[in-house]
Amino acid sequence: MALTTLQIVGLALSLILVVFYFMRRAQEGGFPLPPGPPRHPLIGNFFNFPMSNQQETFTLWSQLFGDVVYSNVLGNHFVTINTAEAVEDILTKKAGNSSNRPNMVMAMELVGMGWATLFKQPGAEHREERKLLHTGLSPAGLKVWANMVDSQANKYVRSLIKGCDRDLATEEQVFPDCLDLRSAHVLIFIHSYGEGVFENHGPELLQMNKEGILIFSKTLANFWLVDLIPLLKYVPDWFPGAGFKRYAAKCNRLEQILQTRPFELTQKLHNEGKAGYSMTAQLLEQGADQKRIAIAVATAFQAGYEATYVSVTVFILAMLLYPDVQTKALEEIDNLTHGERIPTVGDRPNLPYIDAICKEIKRWHTIGPLGVPHVTAEEDSYKGMRIPKGSIIQVNVRLIHHDPRNYTDPYVFRPERFLPERPEDMPLDPSLVAFGFGRRMCPGRFLADMTTYSAIVNILTAYTIKPAPGKLVPSGLDYIDGTVSIPKQYDCLLEPRSDKRLQLFKED
C-alpha cells in the first residue's frame, strides 16, 4: 500500500529524532547527569516539565532529587540550582562559562525584548552597555545622587500626606489607595531621566513601563513551545493555536516604544535645558553612543522601577504583620534624630536595625523567584555531576532565601538575624542571589537598595503603620507570582506620629 505524503513526512521526522537521540547519547560520557524526574526516550520530560508555576515544581523536585536537578525537553538540557553553594561554584566562580542567555524566541524575537541589556549575549554591545550602567549605578557613581534620593523620598512622603489630591494634613489614611503613580517609582525615574522629564511626561512613561513589566513577567514566567521548536515562529497569526503570535505582536509594539521614547523625550528636553540632571544627561555629556545610552538606561529603569515599588510595599506589609519590628525601627530612628530631622542616606551606618530590615525585605519576599536563566557555553561539572554544554540554568532563588540551612525560621520576618553577636554567625547576604549572578549581577542593585532605605526612614519618620479599621489583617505574605513576584493588595492605616514630624516634610 502506497504511503501518503503526510505519512512520509511523519516517518522522516521520526527518523531524524531517532538519529538525533542516538547522536546525543554517543556524545554523553564521563560524569553522570544530575538526578531529576524520569525521562522518556526522545521527548525527555516533555509531559511533566512545568508550563507555568515553575518555581513550585522546581521546589518539589528539589525535595525529591536534591540541590542540583536535571531535566530534558526535546533534547534541550535544563539544570535547576537550589543552593547558594552551587550558585557560587557554577555561576560565580565559572562566570566565563555560564554568562550566556538562552535563545528565548518568544521573549527576545517575537515579543521584542531582545533589545534590553539584560538579554544580550556577552559581546561588545553588552560590555559597552554594562560599562555605561556602572558609570551611573556603582557605589562611587551614586554618591553624587545621595541628596537627590533624600529629596525625592521626602517628596514621596509628601505625596502620602496629600494623598489623592486631598489635603489630609494629620488625618489617617488607608494605604495604598493614596499612592497611584506618586510612589517609589519616581525615585528611579528621576535618576534615569531627570525631574524635568518627569514633570512633562512622567505619568505617560510610568504607565508604559508598568505595562512593560507585566509583559516581562508574564512572558518569562511561562514555558513557550516556540522556544523549543523555533520553526513555530513562522506559523501565521490566524492559524489555530497561534494565540502566542497574536499576544507577541501586541507586546512587540510597546517594547519598541519603551526602547526609544524615554530617551528621545529626555534628549529633547536636555537640549532645551529643561530635563534636569540624570544618568541619561550625565552619559550624554560624556559623549557616549546615544543608542547604547537609550538601551542601557531603559533597561535599568525597567529593572529598578518594580524592585523599589515591591520592596516598599513589602516593608509596609511587614510592619503591619510584625509590630514589634516597627517599634524597634521607630526607636532607632528617634534615638538618632530626636524627631528634629529626617534621616538621610548618610545616616545609614548609624541605623543598623533599619539596614537589617532592608536585607530582610530582600530575603522574606523574593522579587524574582527564579531570576533570569543562564546558559553554559561549554560542558561543565559539579560535585561529580555533568552539566552539558548549552544547559539552561535556572536558580530557585526563593527556595534559597527560605532554606532553613541558611536562615532559622525562614518564613518569619526577623531583621535581627542580620545583627548577630558574633561575625561568624552572620547568615547568607540575600543580595548575593537576589540580584543575579556572576557577570550578570544587576548593576542597579545599589540604587534599588538606596532608594528602599530612604523610603523606609522617611515613612517611619512621619507615620506609624497599623491595621485599617474594619479590614482583615493579612494572614501573611501573599503574592501574584511571575518572573516578578508582586504582593497582593492589602489595606492598612498610616497614622501620623505627630504634627511636628509632619511639618518636617513641609515644602519650602
The 10s digit of each residue's pLDDT in 233-253 is 999 988 888 889 998 988 888
pLDDT at residue 17, rounded to an integer: 58
- In this predicted structure, the answer to whether residue 406 has a pLDDT above a threshold of 50 is yes
- In this predicted structure, the answer to whether residue 25 has a pLDDT above a threshold of 60 is no
Residue 251 assigned to a binding site? no
Q: Lowest-pLDDT range, 15-24, 285-294, 426-435, 477-486?
A: 15-24
Q: Lowest-pLDDT range, 77-81, 152-156, 403-407?
A: 152-156
What backbone phi and psi angles, to 5 degrees, belong to 427?
Answer: -75, 175
Percent of the chain's residues with pLDDT above 70:
89
- In this predicted structure, the answer to whether residue 84 has a pLDDT above a threshold of 70 is yes
Distance between first and last Cα of the chain:
92
d(CA 385, CA 399): 21
pTM to 2 decimal places: 0.86
Burial of 286-302, coded b for 16+ CB within 10 Å and e otherwise, reads eebeeebbbbbbbbbbb
* pLDDT, tens digit (0-9, with 9 covering 90-100), for 111-133: 988 888 988 999 999 999 999 99
pLDDT band of residue 174 (cuts 50, 70, 90) is: very low
365 contacts 477 by C-beta, under 8 angstroms: yes
Taking Cα atoms as reference points, which of 445, 453, 371, 368 lies closest to residue 184? 453
- Match 552597555 to its residue by C-alpha cell: 129
- In this predicted structure, the answer to whether residue 182 has a pLDDT above a threshold of 50 is no
* pLDDT, tens digit (0-9, with 9 covering 90-100), for 269-294: 888 888 888 899 989 989 999 999 99
Q: Lowest-pLDDT range, 75-79, 195-199, 337-341, 460-464?
A: 195-199
Taking Cα atoms as reference points, which of 498, 125, 122 lies closest to residue 296? 125
What's the whole-number mean pLDDT along residues 388-404? 96
Within 10 A of 366 (CB to CB), how many other CB atoms are there?
Answer: 23
**Cis before 487 (ω within 30):** no
pLDDT at residue 148, rounded to an integer: 81
Within 10 A of 231 (CB to CB), how many other CB atoms are there?
Answer: 8
3-state secondary structure 128-155: HHHHHHHHHHCHHHHHHHHHHHHHHHHH
- Domains plus CATH for the chain? 29-503 (1.10.630.10)
pLDDT at residue 169, rounded to an integer: 36
- In this predicted structure, the answer to whether residue 161 has a pLDDT above a threshold of 50 is yes
